Amino acid sequence: LWKVRNVCCIGAGYVGGPTSAVIASKNPSVGVTVTDINERRISAWKSNRLPIFEPGLLETVQEARDGSASRRPNLFFTTDIEAAIGAADLIFVAVNTPTKTSGRGVGRASETGFLESAIRTIAEVAETDKIIVEKSTVPLGTAGLIREILDAIGNPGVHFEVLSNPEFLAEGTALKDLLLPDRILIGSLSSPSGISACDTLRNLYSTWVPQSKIITTHLLSSELAKLAANAMLGQRITNVNSLSAICEATGANIEEVSNAVGLDFRIGPKMLNASVGFGGSCFKKDILSLAYIAETLHLPEIAAYWTSVLELNEYQKDRFAQRIVRCLYSTLTNKKIAILGFAFKKNTGDTRESPAISICQALLDEGAQITLYDPKVPKHQIWADLVCNGGEGTEENITICETAYQACHDVNAVVILTEWDEFSNRQPVEPARMDWERVAKTMRQPRYVFDGRNITDAVELQKLGLRVEHIGKSL
Ligand code: NAD
Ligand code: UDX
């Protein structure tokens, strides 16, 4: 086995940051250094205003980064990538792999340029043997390409072993997912040195993950399993969302349908919430990548199958926006609409591929004035998502508010786009939970609530004189 004294993680984002913090926290004798080309991100990780919001993250980072009477600091953040690589025995590569915006496979294939650049730096800098762990989600066969690059430009005296170890955390629950994972997946070559590298990585996880949850596979299976998991989760939500359209057209209730279906042990209850459409940086990108891989393998039927999941997700977002317009007498000119929630899901400030972006754009295109509130998304991010990409005049029609009450004041309709607990009326009103009665009093006719996340009790809202539209329910 390899002796691991120092671990390095290239990429200090939503995956690299939390994953490194947990590895450091659970392996106090190992030094963990997180590096990034983005200086602002690194200095934020060194401060107490972390660059991402994730419940419990600050405490975990502080424990390992700042140390205490009973433990030495072992989590470090730096932009000195070369030094961090030089000192590391094992390197996680957790850089972004977004959908390509130009060139071959544009709009579908995943961009592996950031990953290649990280690998080149490793090849150029490394003077001692290293295990390189593919943490990013990558196209099938990427580990093989990494080995080719290392063979071509790496120091011939240095031995590299490449592993695939995809990350399955979801944003908003990252710490819980890292601490109690369903499984840890490690893909390796079946050579003796591949297996030894695999066991070395296993040891790093074994300090807190039971052995039975650490599974090992071939490199290609591991790479494909990550794409498959995201594709199947996205497809599952799309299944429910497709049924929500049938519910709205008939009077069936999607919550009752999901509950009845999910009680089948073979199906299970999770990820069956109807919504305004799924968002986030992973599902769309990874389904596009899977479809593109199928296409390059001359499997057009398979590509079309997965592409249809994305088409339906777009349809679901559009259908919701159109329903708002239709209910508001088919015109939004001179109408004011409050948007509650802009993040792609609760407990994160992330807006990548958030359904709120295209829904707000559709409402703005119809001439609406929107007032918007999200508890965690920074103002500049909303501005970047809506105004920088929006048409002329967008700026004058958007007001970003500090509270839900401000956003809902004097509006014709309230639209819930993220399932933040504070917007729900299913619990008693608390300081942190909004008072719908107060909201209802300040709204203008026709006083609609469009709940794109089904987090409100419609009967209670109706008692306040509000008209309510839920996903997959016709009231
Ligand atoms: P991110 O954009 O938040 O972070 C990636 C970081 O890598 C950025 O800070 C960027 O500056 C840095 N970077 C890029 N090239 C670099 C280089 N050559 N050297 C050093 N730093 C570099 O991305 P993320 O959300 O953390 O996702 C990272 C990977 O993990 C992706 O492949 C993604 O598909 C996968 N993933 C993401 C999630 C999630 O919930 N976000 C979950 C599982 C897997
Ligand atoms: C996803 C995967 O869950 C995770 O395993 C992977 O590592 C990264 O991609 P993430 O995108 O962070 O995680 O969040 P997730 O909880 O999966 O939600 C994705 C989107 O689906 C969100 O917009 C969410 O609101 C939506 N969703 C989720 C639904 O519409 N209905 C559901 O039942 C669950």
Ligand nearest to the CA of 84: 1
Does the pLDDT value for residue 391 go beyond 80? no
Terminal alpha carbon distance of the chain = 63
Ligand nearest to the CA of 136: 1
Of residues 230, 263, 259, 286, the one with CA closest to residue 96: 286
Residue with more model confidence, 387 or 142? 142
Give the mean model confidence (pLDDT) for residues 334-339: 97
* Catalytic member of 282, 360, 401, 408: 282
Cα of 58 to ligand 2 centre, how many Å? 22
**pLDDT value of residue 1:** 84
| Atom number of ligand 1 nearest to Cα 121 | 18
| Atom number of ligand 1 nearest to Cα 95 | 7
Give the mean model confidence (pLDDT) for residues 21-45: 98
| Atom number of ligand 2 nearest to Cα 169 | 7
Is this complex's ipTM strictly greater than 0.95? yes
Output DSSP code: residue 98.
Answer: P
**pLDDT value of residue 430:** 84
Give me the amino acid identity at 378: P
Q: What is the pTM of this model?
A: 0.97
Q: Is there a single domain that holds both residue 165 and residue 18?
A: yes
Output DSSP code: residue 362.
Answer: H
Task: Tell me which residue has tokens 């329910």.
Answer: 473
Of residues 201, 198, 179, the one with CA closest to residue 189: 198
Give, for 148, the enclosing helix (H) or strand (E): helix 142-153
Q: Is there a single domain that holds both residue 459 and residue 337?
A: yes
368 within a domain of the structure (yes/no): yes
Cα of 236 to ligand 2 centre, how many Å? 11
Range of the domain at 174: 6-209
Does the pLDDT value for residue 390 go beyond 90? no
Does the pLDDT value for residue 475 go beyond 80? no
Question: Alpha-carbon distance 175 to 173, whole Å?
Answer: 6
Could you tell me if 241 and 273 are in contact, meaning their C-beta atoms sit under 8 angstroms apart? no
Does the pLDDT value for residue 432 go beyond 90? no
390 within a domain of the structure (yes/no): yes
Give the mean model confidence (pLDDT) for residues 204-227: 98
245 within a domain of the structure (yes/no): no
Could you tell me if 333 and 367 are in contact, meaning their C-beta atoms sit under 8 angstroms apart? yes
Number of structural domains in the chain:
2
Give me the amino acid identity at 290: L
Does the pLDDT value for residue 392 go beyond 90? no
Strands annotated E in 15-66: 31-35
Which residues line ligand 1 at a C-beta cut-off of 6 Å?
A: 10-16, 35-38, 41, 81, 94-97, 114, 117-118, 136-137, 167, 169, 171, 281-282
**pLDDT value of residue 236:** 98
Q: Residue-wise over 71-80: b if at least 16 C-beta within 10 A, else e?
A: eeebbbbbbe
Ligand nearest to the CA of 137: 1
Give the mean model confidence (pLDDT) for residues 43-63: 98
Q: Is there a single domain that holds both residue 178 and residue 308?
A: no
The yes-or-no answer on residue 282 being catalytic is: yes
Question: Alpha-carbon distance 16 to 34, whole Å?
Answer: 7
Q: Is there a single domain that holds both residue 405 and residue 271?
A: yes
Strands annotated E in 116-265: 130-134, 160-164, 184-188, 214-218
Of residues 118, 100, 96, 101, the one with CA closest to residue 109: 100
218 within a domain of the structure (yes/no): no
Q: Is there a single domain that holds both residue 193 and residue 264?
A: no
Give the mean model confidence (pLDDT) for residues 18-38: 98
Of residues 166, 255, 157, the one with CA closest to residue 219: 166
Question: Alpha-carbon distance 401 to 420, whole Å?
Answer: 16
Q: Is there a single domain that holds both residue 203 and residue 263?
A: no
Give the mean model confidence (pLDDT) for residues 440-447: 96
100 within a domain of the structure (yes/no): yes
Give the mean model confidence (pLDDT) for residues 34-44: 98
**pLDDT value of residue 394:** 84
Give, for 225, the enclosing helix (H) or strand (E): helix 219-250
The pair of three-digit structure tokens given for residue 263, joined into one six-digit string: 């009680």
Give the mean model confidence (pLDDT) for residues 40-47: 98
Q: Is 282 in the pocket of ligand 2 (CB under 6 A)?
A: yes
pLDDT band at 474 (very low <50, low <70, confident <90, very high): confident
Query: Beta strand 413-416 with 448-451: parallel, antiparallel or unpaired?
Result: parallel
Does the pLDDT value for residue 445 go beyond 80? yes
Domain end (from 182, 209, 236): 209
395 within a domain of the structure (yes/no): yes
The pair of three-digit structure tokens given for residue 253, joined into one six-digit string: 């209730």
Could you tell me if 423 and 372 are in contact, meaning their C-beta atoms sit under 8 angstroms apart? no
Of residues 92, 75, 77, 91, the one with CA closest to residue 128: 91
Cα of 29 to ligand 1 centre, how many Å? 26
Using a 10 angstrom Cβ sphere, with 0-12 exposed, 13-18 middle and 19 or more buried, the burial of residue 116 is middle
Domain end (from 174, 209, 244): 209
**The domain that contains 425 carries what CATH number?**
3.40.50.720
**pLDDT value of residue 195:** 97
Residue with more model confidence, 390 or 377? 377
Give the mean model confidence (pLDDT) for residues 127-150: 98
Give the mean model confidence (pLDDT) for residues 60-75: 97
Q: Is there a single domain that holds both residue 52 and residue 200?
A: yes
Q: Helix, strand, coil % (nearest 5) of the chain? A: 45, 15, 40
Cα of 345 to ligand 2 centre, how many Å? 8
**pLDDT value of residue 283:** 98
Cα 222 from chain centroid? Answer: 20
pLDDT band at 387 (very low <50, low <70, confident <90, very high): confident
Of residues 122, 166, 110, the one with CA closest to residue 146: 122
Q: Is there a single domain that holds both residue 69 and residue 168?
A: yes
The pair of three-digit structure tokens given for residue 278, joined into one six-digit string: 């799924």
Q: Is there a single domain that holds both residue 162 and residue 20?
A: yes
**pLDDT value of residue 194:** 97
Pocket test for ligand 2, best of 96, 238, 272, 283 (most atoms within 8 A of CB): 283
Q: Is 273 in the pocket of ligand 2 (CB under 6 A)?
A: yes
Determine what percent of the chain is predicted with pLDDT higher than 90: 96
**pLDDT value of residue 464:** 97
Mean confidence (pLDDT) of the chain: 97
Question: Alpha-carbon distance 282 to 228, whole Å?
Answer: 12
Pocket test for ligand 2, best of 14, 110, 237 (most atoms within 8 A of CB): 237
Q: Is there a single domain that holds both residue 356 and residue 448?
A: yes
Cα of 62 to ligand 2 centre, how many Å? 27
Give the mean model confidence (pLDDT) for residues 414-439: 93
**pLDDT value of residue 154:** 95
230 within a domain of the structure (yes/no): no
**pLDDT value of residue 431:** 80
Cα of 230 to ligand 2 centre, how many Å? 9
Q: Which residues participate in the annotated binding site for NAD(+)?
A: 11-16, 36, 41, 95-99, 136-137, 171, 282-285, 352
Give the mean model confidence (pLDDT) for residues 30-56: 98
Could you tell me if 310 and 288 are in contact, meaning their C-beta atoms sit under 8 angstroms apart? yes
Q: At what angle do helices 300-327 and 355-365 cross, to 10 degrees?
A: 50
Determine what percent of the chain is predicted with pLDDT higher than 70: 100
Give me the amino acid identity at 126: A
Phi-psi region of 383 (alpha: psi -120 to 50; beta: other; left: phi over 0): alpha
Does the pLDDT value for residue 165 go beyond 90? yes
Ligand nearest to the CA of 96: 1
Task: Tell me which residue has tokens 């119809």.
Answer: 366
Q: Is there a single domain that holds both residue 169 and residue 318?
A: no
Q: Residue-wise over 403-413: b if at least 16 C-beta within 10 A, else e?
A: ebeebbbebbb
pLDDT band at 338 (very low <50, low <70, confident <90, very high): very high
Does the pLDDT value for residue 469 go beyond 80? yes
| Atom number of ligand 1 nearest to Cα 171 | 40
219 within a domain of the structure (yes/no): no
Q: Is there a single domain that holds both residue 153 and residue 269?
A: no
Cα of 205 to ligand 1 centre, how many Å? 21
Question: Alpha-carbon distance 128 to 414, whole Å?
Answer: 59
pLDDT band at 259 (very low <50, low <70, confident <90, very high): very high
Does the pLDDT value for residue 393 go beyond 90? no
**pLDDT value of residue 454:** 97
**pLDDT value of residue 450:** 98
What are the tens digits of pLDDT across the range 291-324?
999 999 999 999 999 999 999 999 999 999 999 9
Give the mean model confidence (pLDDT) for residues 118-129: 97
Pocket test for ligand 2, best of 15, 243, 278, 357 (most atoms within 8 A of CB): 278
